[in-house]
């Protein structure tokens, strides 16, 4: 299973207005393991960088002026995410709105929302009433985010990948126990074999004194003692 953990940075909050994407960061997971393949690009937003956005991202007009425009990197981005890989995004509605607005302007089809898996929604379901920001989830799961002084798309994607694996069940969510043949227990076409009884019972580990003490203790509990229900089992 191939997944893309994705983050964008923007000039503001109005995807269909004047605001634009200034950075995209993404990394590839295959079967919940990072492959080392990443996509990272800074983008000329074709507008002045608002002061508020500069304070969040640290990306200014002088830095972005000579970067490619979205239309120039759109094909590379689409090639990286593929046509059916799941997109793992924190607050997916926000990023998908911006990506689709940019793709539409560049003459590309929009990405269906069905491809997005929103880790913000997962976190809110798992921890109702608790903070669900990326920083809060890093603290909860012990993910080191000390380098996150400013928001950066690739760094945030790397942090989100670690958080995502914790949200879906730990660092090895696909770990399964398999039999000697490699077949999963209960899988179609497999048969569970009984190992039968031991040829010789294991010797008791209780001493005679311990057994007598336990019998005396149970005798004090009366006929309703739970041990008596299974004494012949």
Task: Catalogue the active-site residues.
Answer: 151
Contacts of 19 (CB under 8 A, 6+ apart): 10, 11, 12, 13, 45, 98
Distance CA 106, CA 68 (A): 13
**Three-class SS state of 220:** helix
Distance CA 70, CA 181 (A): 50
Distances (CA, A) of 119 to 91, 167, 176: 7, 8, 24
**Minimal CA–CA distance to 162: which of 183, 147, 149?**
147
Tokens of 173: 């969510």
Whether 59 contacts 9, CB under 8 Å = yes
**Three-class SS state of 14:** coil
| CB neighbourhood size of 116 (10 A) | 19
Distances (CA, A) of 60 to 15, 75, 154, 213: 19, 25, 18, 79
């Amino acid at each position: 299973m191939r997944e893309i953990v994705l983050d964008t940075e923007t000039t503001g909050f109005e995807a269909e207005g004047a605001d634009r994407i200034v950075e995209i960061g993404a990394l590839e997971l295959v079967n919940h393991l990072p492959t080392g393949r990443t996509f990272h690009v800074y983008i000329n937003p074709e507008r002045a960088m608002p002061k508020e956005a500069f304070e969040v991202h640290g990306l200014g007009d002088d830095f972005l002026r000579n970067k490619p425009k979205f239309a120039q990197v759109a094909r590379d981005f689409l090639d990286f995410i593929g046509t059916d890989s799941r997109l793992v995004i924190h607050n997916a509605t926000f990023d998908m709105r911006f990506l689709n607005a940019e793709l539409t302007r560049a003459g590309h089809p929009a990405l269906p929302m069905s491809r997005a898996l929103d880790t913000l929604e997962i976190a809110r379901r798992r921890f109702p009433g608790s903070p669900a920001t990326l920083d809060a989830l890093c603290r909860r799961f012990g993910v080191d985010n000390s380098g996150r002084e400013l928001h950066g798309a690739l760094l945030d994607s790397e942090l989100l990948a670690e958080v995502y694996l914790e949200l879906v069940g730990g660092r090895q969510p696909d770990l399964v126990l398999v039999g000697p043949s490699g077949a999963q227990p209960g899988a179609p076409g497999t048969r569970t074999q009984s190992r039968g009884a031991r040829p010789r019972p294991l010797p008791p580990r209780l001493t005679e004194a311990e057994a007598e003490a336990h019998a005396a203790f149970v005798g004090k509990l009366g006929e309703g003692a739970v041990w008596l229900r299974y004494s012949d089992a």
